[in-house]
Structure 1
Amino acid sequence: MSQNTQHDLIGIADVAAKIPAFLSKVPNLLSGLKQAYLRTPNSPAGLGLAFEKAAARHPEGVALRFEDQSYTYAELNAWANQIGHFYLSLGAKKGDVIAVMVENRPELVASVLGLAKIGVTSALVNTSQVGKVLAHSINLVKPIAVITGDECHHAVDEIRDDLNVAADRLHWFADQNTQLDPGQAPEGFINLAEACDAFAKFNVATTQTVQGKDGLFYIYTSGTTGLPKAVIFTNSRWTLAYGTYGHVLNLNKDDVMYCTLPLYHATGMVVCWCGVIAGAGTLAIRRKFSTSSFWKDVKKFDASAIGYVGELCRYLMDAPESELEKGHRVTKMIGNGMRPNIWDKFKARFGVQEVLELYASSEGNVGFSNVFNFDNTVGFSPTPYAIIEFDKERNEVVRDAKGWCKKVKKGETGLLIGKITHRSPFDGYTDPEKNKSVMMKDVFAKGDAFFNTGDLVRDIGFRHAQFVDRLGDTFRWKGENVSTTQVENMLTEYDKIVEAVVYGVEIPNTNGRAGMAAITLKPDTQLDDTDLKKMVACFKQCLPAYAVPVFLRVQQQVETTGTFKYQKNKLKEQAFDPSQTDERLLVLLPGQDAYCDVSAEVFANIHAYEYRF
């Protein structure tokens, strides 16, 4: 989120002007901060405890809506208890892990809540994953069981021989309202709805024993080794999000949060849902985002708030205006990635008054939230952090003559790092080596330690920042983090490709970066029309749709540095512009099943926004 104008800089006078509107939130915010910060790693904490309190306050209030299904707090709590009691009967205990691969629907929410109540960590598997990547993701966290929805069970079935999970621990939900009809489980899977039905609905006794230090979720992020990393999200971190983001949103029992974001990501599962629980409101979910259905659902669920990522906002802005987008209750939205060039237009067109943009990462220890409702900012951070000078050409931080890092001045861009303290711990990855690689020591003083976010941000004053760019071997596309190394490994599965260099490139009028791969072919081979189609099918078989490269560049030889690192900077600069290279450039246009050449006309049409990537 970079918009280098003096207009965006924030001073005391700007904050003072926001105080009157902010004061109405203060009582609720103070209540949340009290819960967030007056805790220890050994305090009872987390999702299960907070939900039980909300259910006790508002048992007959609607907790969850999906399509034509509706569940009160009492009903959802009882369903989660049955799941909890069932797994306790199997011997599940605090600290165990269960992989959950279900699309956005009530069965996912009830499962995660039930496991949270017994102290079992839910590994929230990306429902787009298949093959080797899926097997890696599940085995990585050593689960005692796998819960899959029928919509994902084929992907699990294909790799079941590669899973380190007992054959009788593959649990299945039918792709329907399983509270009314549990369905018939496929061979080799146990019907979880049927198995849980005989168990008690009263609160499990374990909820009070779950402590802040205990794991709540594993959330997967792209890893530089080419395969997903599992990041532990503790109950303590959830309580922090609940006490801050959840209470800043200031929802109440009459509010409805409409969330189309995938619940295997923290923005949906943590940020949107904790705001709902804090106010004992309603979470309305949709399986997947749909531009054409968005405002219909807002009306249907009578939503007053929405969860978002930048791509979602762009799709809504691109859609033709309709009567459905007027006359709704939505005044608040929470998420990340709102582009500065549409921020004001989005608020004006859709009647949104408050954009609670935030910055946080699943593994990080620093967070920002737009509590004062400024435009074009990820907001304010109460956590200790620094923005330090970074040399993009050398890909390293700038240090002074004494070896200390240097903070940027107001209005400048630098690398965001979060100080590691007992109040801002770094929970880390499952991989100790990965933990070492993202920790910086002796930054400003001997013995200090910081988490390296890998993100460039702009200091705009009064502890506010703007997101600028992401460093390293991941880029963001379609609201997902894409690992370049993972894609590079998978592209060589195509028999004609011997080497691939993957990087992200910007397409005008889109969020994030689209995947582009510079590929090297086997000697004496060329890509014919059949290849252009077969490559797409091959890539889609081994990669999630968002990771399939949008652009290809056919190279004679990969250019590397003296230490054999790929020369990506030059490739990124030339991107997919045919005037910048004599090499063949290909593009997978929206809705097509084969790559085509990037001609001057196609290039011009991409820049003219003729295609909606």
Structure 2
Amino acid sequence: MQLLLSPPLPLQLFQDFEDYFSDNVNGGYPEIAPIKGALGIGEVTHFSPTRLWRRELHIRVASTAITVHSVYQILQQSSPEADLSSSTSIVRTTPPDFAPTGASSFRLSPLEDPPTLSVTMSLVNLAHVCTHLQNASKARLGLTSIPSTNLHLTLAHALQKQDFLSSVTRAGPTPPAPEMIADPSSSPEAEVTQANIASRRLWLGLKYWNNEPVLRKMWMVSKPTKRIWLNHHDLGVIVRGREAGYVKGMTNPGECLFVTTLPLTLALPAAAASLAYLNARLSLSYDYNLLGSFIAGSVVGNIAQRRDRANLFYVLEGHALNPKTASNVFLIYQNRQWTYKEAYENVLRYATWLKRRHAVTKGEIVAIDFTNSELFIWMWWALWTLGAKPAFVNYNLRGESLLHCIRTSTARLLFVDEEVKAGFSGDVLQELSSGGFRDGKGAVETVVFSKELELEILATDGVREPDEARGGVRLQDMAILIYTSGTTGLPKPAVVSWSKVRLAGYFVSRWLGLKNGKDRFYTVSSAHHHASKKSMPSFVNIRDSQCMPLYHTSASSLGLSAALQAGSTFILGHRFSPSTFWPEVRASSATVIQYVGETCRYLLSSPPTPLDTQHKVRLAFGNGLRPDVWQRFQERFDIETVAEFYGATEGPSASWNLSRNGFSRGAVGRNGRLASLILGGGLTLVELDPLTDAPLRDPQTRLCRPCAPNEPGELLYKLPDHEDEWGSKYQGYYDNPAATASKILRNVLKKGDAWYRTGDLLRHDQDGRWWFSDRIGDTFRWKGENVSTTEVAELLGTHPAVREANVYGVRVPSHDGRAGCAAVVLDASGEPSAELLKDLAQFVRMRLPKYAVPIFLRLVSTMDVTGTMKMQKGELREEGVEPGKVGLDRIYWLLPNAESYQRFGEREWKALEAGRVKL
């Protein structure tokens, strides 16, 4: 059975609704009865949307191009009240933007029954048909063809009936004659035989209006591997304009929804129906994947430790020596590739060279300051081969920040590639070579990797060190030193344990479903250097920005480690650019891409092209994807799944969200009922004092106050009760017990307990979703209220003229607290127009509470971000809005009674200082 639905008209137009339903139920369509109860109202018309517009809106339509969007969605029906013996397919058409309210109708008209078919193969073919019809319309073809199947014929007839197609003709591989298209009965159809059945085609006539395609957009939302469960109530929700599962609500006038039930060969028993319902309500299958991945990672890690194989060198060796995987591609970098066997041999060569030339020994820390390249990986794994520990230095650092990182690593050896060496100043080199640099332990030997040195190493005969060199390693022992981003101070060396490297990597590989020899995991970085201010860590300009550097935990522990443990291919990019990102993804046949911070926003800033969806990517994985970017990124680039996570390099745990629909879009974590029950005791949110950022405590018990659902609070992770067991989850900072202890909060939910402070404000809801609110210290207080910089920035980012927004609080004379200031990058350069400044003022005032409206706008040409793509606020906050401190940036302000943002300069600043202006 098929139904055609669209949004309802006013109720007075629905007088014959009951008669229509009675006729069709008696005529053999019992499935309509429960739908009637769910939808409640409706009216039937035999006019298609385009006919309605042409007849009733002729004057309006005459000078306007019609653009009809069509979306084909395959859904599986599930309801405790309904018989789950059928799957449901939906075709959706959306009318042009100009159609006024009231031009739509609710149509429920039975179409022909499609036959039973193999659902999976048919859906794969149907996805190709949707793409083909969309491309044919863009190419302005008058006639095109698709394979002749019963399902394709049913869809084509439905589209023709609704005036999206002008003709449907079944013929052979060559176009039919014009007279046959005009009147198919004029020429008898050729007999279908076993010899010609594969060449039968459906020839479709495409329609255009004012040189615009009527069928403008058509794509597959559901896929055989992505099931959507809907019941009759959900259909009512969709028709009323609200989202249900993957299916967005019908809100556009004249919008159509084709619904087709496809009988299955086997009816599902009642028990299966109940299980499906419980799965949808409790997220059982989601939790099964989440918890199963956790458990599998723990089991694999513990087995490796018992076998004295915690070092990941053994995973690389296992792939390299296994005849089934040795020839699989392990690494692709700049159009070169290395198999697992070749990578293993290179690692042994580097390890042999390190031992012979520089006497690197077991347990020694060696600093690496490399850009993304294969050299980074060979050096990193070679140190592990010898039982040594690499310290990953952020290659953007300069001056005191760089010296601080090398000094705190205690390394006697520093390896630098030629690209990084170009940014070393004479003062830095002189300081490193001084005998007192390492607290009296001697100078640091700086080794620059030249092309000649690389060739020398590759000519070395690699020798595998005995297992004793890597033996005695526990999962809680240090594997790598990775430095925090240092947005509020000098970077601190976080201890990354074997547990994190091995267990987190294995968890990610299983959670994402990475396949041995099939998946290709793409990550990219930049080698751009940007001078630092005030000896703080360097920040990166977005035009040459880092996407995922190997010195960061996401790329090393969650990226390369995950790909390695899955036996997949790791594709390493060197420099990120929005214009080259997708060409590299397509050329490498990547199936998974890794993002961080603002990467996805930068990709959206590039002009759309027809190639945006021409890729093999099934999943985007990373952290920091803003909610205002999430959906636009998925829809424009046709990304089926977003895997977002939240965590810190030194943190004992993380949160995970595998999002395939709107339910968890924008969340940084998600747990179903089962996962919440099992994992819920390991994390909590506590209320904070808005003035001191310290946890609020109950005056009687002196314990912290947990947050209610949807109430923001600081996220805490539970540590073991006994301090000597903390190392299994939290290793802290290397050789810095004070910094390690500063992250611990005691007496939280009971006397004597200990929790790790994340320093971030999150909130959670009753459905198990976790949402990022703000970074503690970024939230500011104005007019007695707390303002979340993240929420305000996300709102500003939805304005069509704003490319990027970074919100922070600034001190202003004669006022308490901090006033909101938004540093923004506009799409258009030059002086903003008066209309735009007025529109921005109205935009924020209509959508934000009065205290959260940014008082100041600072127009910047580019946004500075950290090496991990987090927007930098510290220097902006220090500079404030005093005209003499903001350089060439322009400042605007919004006075309480003004209708628009106005220019702010020296005169206005002096008025503030004199107390003549009240904000």
Give the letter for the 1:91 counterpart. A
| Alpha-carbon distance between aligned partners in 1 of 2:602 and 2:411, rounded to the nearest angstrom | 37
Give the letter for the 1:394 counterpart. T
Contact 2:485–2:868 (Cα < 8 Å) also in 1: no
Give 1:425's aligned residue.
729
| Alpha-carbon distance between aligned partners in 2 of 1:27 and 1:451, rounded to the nearest angstrom | 25
Contact 1:454–1:471 (Cα < 8 Å) also in 2: yes
Q: Does 1:237 align with 2:500?
A: yes
Deviations 1:406-443 (A, max 9, x none): 21122221111111124852100121111121111121
Tell me: CA distance 1:544–1:19, structure 2 relative to 1, closer, same or farther (3 Å): closer
Contact 2:779–2:808 (Cα < 8 Å) also in 1: no
Q: Does 1:399 align with 2:664?
A: no
| Match of residue 342, structure 2, among 64, 68, 75 | 75
Q: How does 1:430-579 map to 2 (within 5 A)?
A: 430=734, 431-461=736-766, 463-472=768-777, 506=793, 508-509=796-797, 513=806
Moved more, 455-464 or 345-354: 455-464
- Aligned residue for 1:297, secondary structure, equals helix
Give 2:10's aligned residue.
none
Give 1:53's aligned residue.
318
Q: How does 1:171-182 map to 2 (within 5 A)?
A: 171-174=447-450, 182=451
Deviations 1:523-572 (A, max 9, x none): xxxxxxxxxxxxxxxxx9xx98989978988xxxxxxxxxxxxxx7xx89
Q: Per-residue deviation at 1:284? A: 0.8
| Alpha-carbon distance between aligned partners in 2 of 1:192 and 1:517, rounded to the nearest angstrom | 50
| Alpha-carbon distance between aligned partners in 2 of 1:413 and 1:25, rounded to the nearest angstrom | 25
| Alpha-carbon distance between aligned partners in 2 of 1:255 and 1:47, rounded to the nearest angstrom | 20
Aligned length: 506
| Alpha-carbon distance between aligned partners in 1 of 2:417 and 2:809, rounded to the nearest angstrom | 32
Contact 2:301–2:475 (Cα < 8 Å) also in 1: no
Give the letter for the 2:331 counterpart. L
Contact 2:412–2:443 (Cα < 8 Å) also in 1: no
Greater RCO, 1 or 2 (C-alpha within 8 Å, sep 6+): 1
| Match of residue 411, structure 2, among 143, 154, 160 | 143
Contact 1:516–1:551 (Cα < 8 Å) also in 2: no
Q: Per-residue deviation at 1:359? A: 1.1
Moved more, 44-53 or 371-380: 371-380
| Alpha-carbon distance between aligned partners in 2 of 1:375 and 1:605, rounded to the nearest angstrom | 36
Tell me: CA distance 1:467–1:396, structure 2 relative to 1, closer, same or farther (3 Å): same
Give 1:595's aligned residue.
888
Q: Does 1:170 align with 2:446?
A: yes
Deviations 1:134-176 (A, max 9, x none): 11111111112111110011334631221247678322223xx
Q: Per-residue deviation at 1:372? A: 6.6
Give the letter for the 1:232 counterpart. V
Q: Does 1:228 align with 2:491?
A: yes
Give the letter for the 1:152 counterpart. V
Deviations 1:364-420 (A, max 9, x none): 112111247532222247481111112223312111121011211222211111111
| Alpha-carbon distance between aligned partners in 2 of 1:250 and 1:547, rounded to the nearest angstrom | 28
Tell me: CA distance 1:111–1:514, structure 2 relative to 1, closer, same or farther (3 Å): farther
Deviations 1:239-278 (A, max 9, x none): 2212322321111111111101111111111111122112
- Aligned residue for 1:70, secondary structure, equals strand
Q: Does 1:200 align with 2:462?
A: yes
TM-score (norm 1): 0.73
Deviations 1:574-603 (A, max 9, x none): x65xxxxxx42765xxxxxx62332569x9
Q: How does 1:115-154 map to 2 (within 5 A)?
A: 115-154=383-422
- Aligned residue for 1:257, secondary structure, equals strand
Give 2:713's aligned residue.
414
Contact 1:232–1:428 (Cα < 8 Å) also in 2: yes
Deviations 1:429-484 (A, max 9, x none): 12111112111112122221111110111112465411111114899xxxxxxxxx
| Alpha-carbon distance between aligned partners in 1 of 2:691 and 2:719, rounded to the nearest angstrom | 28
Contact 2:644–2:656 (Cα < 8 Å) also in 1: yes
Unmatched tracts of structure 1, length 5 or more: 1-5, 175-181, 184-190, 476-502, 521-539, 554-567, 577-582, 588-593, 607-613
Q: Does 1:289 align with 2:572?
A: no
- Aligned residue for 1:308, secondary structure, equals strand
Tell me: CA distance 1:143–1:72, structure 2 relative to 1, closer, same or farther (3 Å): same
Moved more, 215-224 or 250-259: 215-224
Q: Per-residue deviation at 1:28? A: 6.7
Tell me: CA distance 1:26–1:280, structure 2 relative to 1, closer, same or farther (3 Å): farther
Larger Rg: 2
Give 1:66's aligned residue.
333
Give the letter for the 2:740 counterpart. N
Deviations 1:171-229 (A, max 9, x none): 2223xxxxxxx33xxxxxxx355256324154664345544233221111145883111
Tell me: CA distance 1:77–1:458, structure 2 relative to 1, closer, same or farther (3 Å): same
Contact 2:479–2:495 (Cα < 8 Å) also in 1: yes
Give the letter for the 2:775 counterpart. R
Give 1:378's aligned residue.
668
TM-score (norm 2): 0.50
Give 1:259's aligned residue.
523
Q: Per-residue deviation at 1:360? A: 1.3
Give 1:388's aligned residue.
686
| Alpha-carbon distance between aligned partners in 2 of 1:417 and 1:399, rounded to the nearest angstrom | 15
Give the letter for the 1:459 counterpart. H
Contact 2:687–2:707 (Cα < 8 Å) also in 1: yes
Moved more, 45-54 or 431-440: 45-54
Contact 1:137–1:230 (Cα < 8 Å) also in 2: yes
Tell me: CA distance 1:143–1:273, structure 2 relative to 1, closer, same or farther (3 Å): same
Give the letter for the 2:297 counterpart. G
Tell me: CA distance 1:472–1:83, structure 2 relative to 1, closer, same or farther (3 Å): farther
> What percent identity do the matched residue pairs reach?
25
| Alpha-carbon distance between aligned partners in 2 of 1:67 and 1:54, rounded to the nearest angstrom | 23
Q: Per-residue deviation at 1:345? A: 2.3
Give 1:357's aligned residue.
644
Contact 1:517–1:551 (Cα < 8 Å) also in 2: no
Contact 1:519–1:552 (Cα < 8 Å) also in 2: no
